[in-house]
Amino acid sequence: MKPVVAIVGRPNVGKSTLFNRITKSKNALVDNFPGVTRDRHYQEAVWNDIEFILIDTGGFINNDFDIFSRQIRDQVICAIEEADVIILLLDGKEGCSAFDKDIIDILRPVTKPVFYVVNKIDGFEQEKNFYEFYSLGIEKIYPVSAEHNYGVMDFMDDMIGMFPQNVTQPSQNMIKVAVIGRPNVGKSSLINHIIGEKRLVVSEIPGTTRDSIDSVCKVGDNSYILVDTAGIRRKGKVNKKLEKFSIIKSLKSMERCDVALILIDAAEGITDQDISIAGYAFERGCGCIFILNKWDIVPKEQKKVKTYYDQLKMSAKFLNFAPAITISALTGLRVPKIFKLVEEVYAQYTTRIGTGQLNRIVERAVIKNEPSLHRGKRIKFYYAAQTGTKPPVFLFFVNYPEGVHFSYQRFLTNQIKEATGLDKTPVKIIFRQRRGKKNLNKKRKNKR
């Protein structure tokens, strides 16, 4: 496994800023008020060609009226247990705090390397601001500015020197599964049930998950990367800047996933917002599975699976290929069956069709139903080839690409799916004009 580094500290000391600096990204949410990061946030990072995993944690507070504080403390302690190296980030502008002493007391018995880093030291003239932290019994302190990159390189060079030796790299052949849906439909609960531990903060308050969190698990012979995403609200209900960034991150999670589990609260019923979220996944070409959660609390008289499935087919016609399943993330009802569906969807999502087979399918389709005329001229399909997977992408060379009606494109898509058994994956078709001999000769002449 790659070395794991955890950043801990009290709220608003710049943990997420340092996380973004080290990972050279903007994947951790940053804002000017405490409590922005609640869950552990994982990301791979590279420093001096050495790969490791960095964890950003929620702000540690030992005595707080915030209902999330106890869970955040549990997350911090869990991150400390997982990590090979720990960074305690302190605030050079605010100075020592009683909370700093509390967390240092937790870290004293830890036998792993702990680096004490004082942030917000923007230059040499400000280094005097960190001397007071020696009163906490710390032997070595690193002054840095995560925002301006002051001192970060020297600190990082020392830190990677403390990584455990002979670490092995994990397999890259993991199926990426994003769990998406409205706030409070049970996304974190589902992942917690799957991985068998409370890795994510779970609450009845919508919007608990603000960042997208990656968790790795193994089911049977397959490994999966599970991405828990912030609940997506309607545009009109997204007022705070922080929630807007959360939505962007959720949409980006769909872009990098193979299969999207679209969680729906079956007890509330299928809403317009559920269908809108399904549309986001469709636009990004994800493999999709509808997960009707909380089936255990659906009233007995309403437990008609066919009614729910029919409503999904009517409301989300664009995802008519997506399978659906009823579950309870709380009790575990049918949760293991999700992975059988994921495997089926992923197998089709990564399928390749031979060029010969594809062109025979197209030939039969054109004989069965000829395309309409374009400005009085017949549309001709010369040949087709598959150019990509995730999802399967097919390139058609025709004489008039702009003349192919969307209804005929849908017909061709259905013919390919029917002939190849690709009934659980999106399929993309691209039409391109084939250059004739005249065009090729003209192009060669212009080059001369």
DSSP code of residue 238: -
Q: Vertex 360, ends 359 and 361: CA angle to 5°?
A: 90
Tell me the pLDDT tens digit for each residue of 185-224: 998 889 888 887 655 555 555 555 555 567 778 887 788 8
pLDDT band at 118 (very low <50, low <70, confident <90, very high): very high
Q: What is the mean pLDDT of residues 1-25?
A: 86
pLDDT for residue 228: 65
**% pLDDT > 90, the chain:** 47
pLDDT for residue 443: 46
pLDDT for residue 314: 93
At residue 67, does pLDDT exceed 90?
Answer: no
Among 77-86, 197-206, 409-418, 423-432, whose mean pLDDT is lowest?
197-206
pLDDT for residue 330: 92
pLDDT for residue 16: 87
Beta strands in 334-447 (DSSP E): 381-388, 393-398, 428-433
Higher pLDDT residue, 184 or 396? 396
Tell me the pLDDT tens digit for each residue of 119-139: 999 887 777 777 888 888 888
How do beta strands 175-181 and 259-265 pair?
Answer: parallel
At residue 33, does pLDDT exceed 90?
Answer: no
pLDDT for residue 267: 94
pLDDT for residue 10: 85
ω into 391 cis (within 30 of 0) = yes
Higher pLDDT residue, 448 or 434? 434
SS3 349: helix
At residue 444, does pLDDT exceed 90?
Answer: no
351 close to 258: Cβ distance less than 8 angstroms: no
Tell me the pLDDT tens digit for each residue of 35-55: 444 455 677 789 998 988 888
pLDDT for residue 236: 53
pLDDT for residue 95: 86
Tell me the pLDDT tens digit for each residue of 276-302: 889 889 988 999 999 999 999 999 888
pLDDT band at 441 (very low <50, low <70, confident <90, very high): very low
**% pLDDT > 70, the chain:** 78
Interatomic CA distance for residues 88 and 6, integer angstroms: 8
Interatomic CA distance for residues 119 and 96, integer angstroms: 12
Interatomic CA distance for residues 47 and 45, integer angstroms: 7
pLDDT for residue 221: 79
Interatomic CA distance for residues 45 and 176, integer angstroms: 18
What does pLDDT average to over the chain? 82
Q: Could you give the domains of the chain?
A: 4-160 (3.40.50.300), 175-349 (3.40.50.300), 355-439 (3.30.300.20)
Higher pLDDT residue, 214 or 89? 89
Tell me the pLDDT tens digit for each residue of 217-269: 888 778 888 876 655 555 555 554 444 445 555 666 777 789 999 999 999 99
Interatomic CA distance for residues 155 and 152, integer angstroms: 5
Burial tier of 123 (Cβ tally within 10 Å: 0-12, 13-18, 19+)? exposed
- The CA dihedral of 304, 310, 314, 319, to the nearest 10 degrees, is 110
pLDDT for residue 32: 47
At residue 167, does pLDDT exceed 50?
Answer: no
At residue 383, does pLDDT exceed 50?
Answer: yes
Intra-chain end-to-end CA distance of the chain, in Å = 57
224 close to 216: Cβ distance less than 8 angstroms: yes
Of 174, 140, 87, the C-alpha closest to 350 is 174
pLDDT for residue 329: 94
Burial 210-235 (b: 16+ CB within 10 A, else e): bbbbbbebebeeeebbbbbbbbbbee
**C-alpha to C-alpha distances, 185 to 37, 48, 192, 230, nearest whole angstrom:** 20, 42, 14, 11
Interatomic CA distance for residues 96 and 92, integer angstroms: 8
Q: What is the mean pLDDT of residues 96-112?
A: 85
23 close to 156: Cβ distance less than 8 angstroms: no
pLDDT for residue 80: 80
